[in-house]
Copies of this chain bind each other. A is one copy, B any other.
């Protein structure tokens, strides 16, 4: 590891200190046959067949480490999941690190190790990267960005346009864990609770979904949560999305914190869940397939797409209903 205890501006200058930082933190953890830190660009082999997809995501979560993950693993899962919900198999990642002067080298080392472990577990190779060091006070310790390239098998096509009235809405597990976990980890409120982030690759879930041609569309409900995905569907299709509050899985400690602080769990970020819209006749089978998997054990059928205009209706537990409006002010910034 680096001899220095804290990151300095010189670690970003293109000279010896930067070379050491890259060799002793980034290259050490991220070593793979595709990564040669001496190259300006990395050759990637996408194989034959399929459609190539590319996506990118930035990460500014505070704190940098939290129960169930860190900004490092989150940066892998976020981008991998964006490819996965398109039906693609993620293959290659690039990594940008904006490091604040004064960050503890040991913390950076833990985070990059966590990132590398997540990449290995997911089967993606980090093939290129860039580091910048910004002055003390800027940069929130560490910001990351990852960009992913993957390949979707031919014949697989998910799109908002495929959605039809009568389709069912599924979610692969409880919502809001990541948002509440990070909020509690900040210690801003005098509340503690046993909530771990759901941060994880959703690839097992999206791979299973490929067996069901009735799957119209999938999305991972991150910033803006389940409600924002429902709004995206309603806006794109000009149909009504009807969700049933009683069927939406929310863990007890998440529900309790939401009630204490007046948050609505449907707007909270998840980082390891999938929302799927599927033809009615295959909805039960996809649900059963997901529930058979460790990661989908808490999956539920939570609503339907109905004729009507661009609205999201929540059937409340008292058999009334209310509109879920589009998110405006953010209850929880810096969650991902």
A72 at the interface (CB under 8 A from B): no
Contact B44–A54 (Cβ < 8 Å): yes
- On whether A134 and B143 interact (CB within 8 A), knowing A14-B222, A52-B46, the answer reads yes
Chain B residues, CB < 8 A from A280: none
A285 at the interface (CB under 8 A from B): no
A33: shortest Cβ distance to chain B, in Å?
15
A311 at the interface (CB under 8 A from B): no
Contact of A39 among B9, B86, B147 (CB under 8 A): B86
Contact A40–B132 (Cβ < 8 Å): no
Contact B328–A17 (Cβ < 8 Å): yes
A36: shortest Cβ distance to chain B, in Å?
10
Contact of A92 among B54, B132, B133 (CB under 8 A): B54
Chain B residues, CB < 8 A from A326: 15-16
CA distance A121 to B140 in the complex (A): 35
CA distance A85 to B41 in the complex (A): 9
Contact B56–A40 (Cβ < 8 Å): no
Contact B16–A160 (Cβ < 8 Å): no
Q: Which residue of B lies closest to A55 (CB)?
A: B41
Those of A130-178 within 8 Å (CB) of chain B: 130-135, 137-140, 143, 145, 147-150, 152, 160
Contact size range, A: 35 or more
A95: shortest Cβ distance to chain B, in Å?
7
Contact of A53 among B13, B41, B59 (CB under 8 A): B41
A sample of 23 inter-chain contacts (CB < 8 A) reads A9-B330, A13-B223, A13-B333, A15-B330, A16-B326, A18-B224, A39-B86, A41-B53, A41-B148, A44-B53, A46-B46, A54-B92, A54-B94, A54-B127, A54-B149, A55-B94, A55-B128, A56-B145, A57-B130, A59-B132, A98-B145, A134-B140, A137-B138
A96 at the interface (CB under 8 A from B): yes
Contact B55–A40 (Cβ < 8 Å): yes
Chain B residues, CB < 8 A from A224: 13-15, 18
Contact A220–B40 (Cβ < 8 Å): yes
A129 at the interface (CB under 8 A from B): yes
CA distance A131 to B42 in the complex (A): 25
CA distance A152 to B41 in the complex (A): 11
Contact B10–A328 (Cβ < 8 Å): yes
A264: shortest Cβ distance to chain B, in Å?
12
What string of 1s and 0s marks CB contacts (under 8 Å) between A44-67 and chain B?
111000011111111110000000
Q: Which residue among A14, A51, A133, A149 has the maximum number of chain B CB atoms within 10 Å of its CB?
A: A14
Those of A251-304 within 8 Å (CB) of chain B: 269
Task: A9-B330, A54-B149, A58-B131 given; name 7 further pairs at CB < 8 Å.
Answer: A13-B329, A13-B333, A40-B86, A55-B128, A57-B130, A58-B132, A94-B147
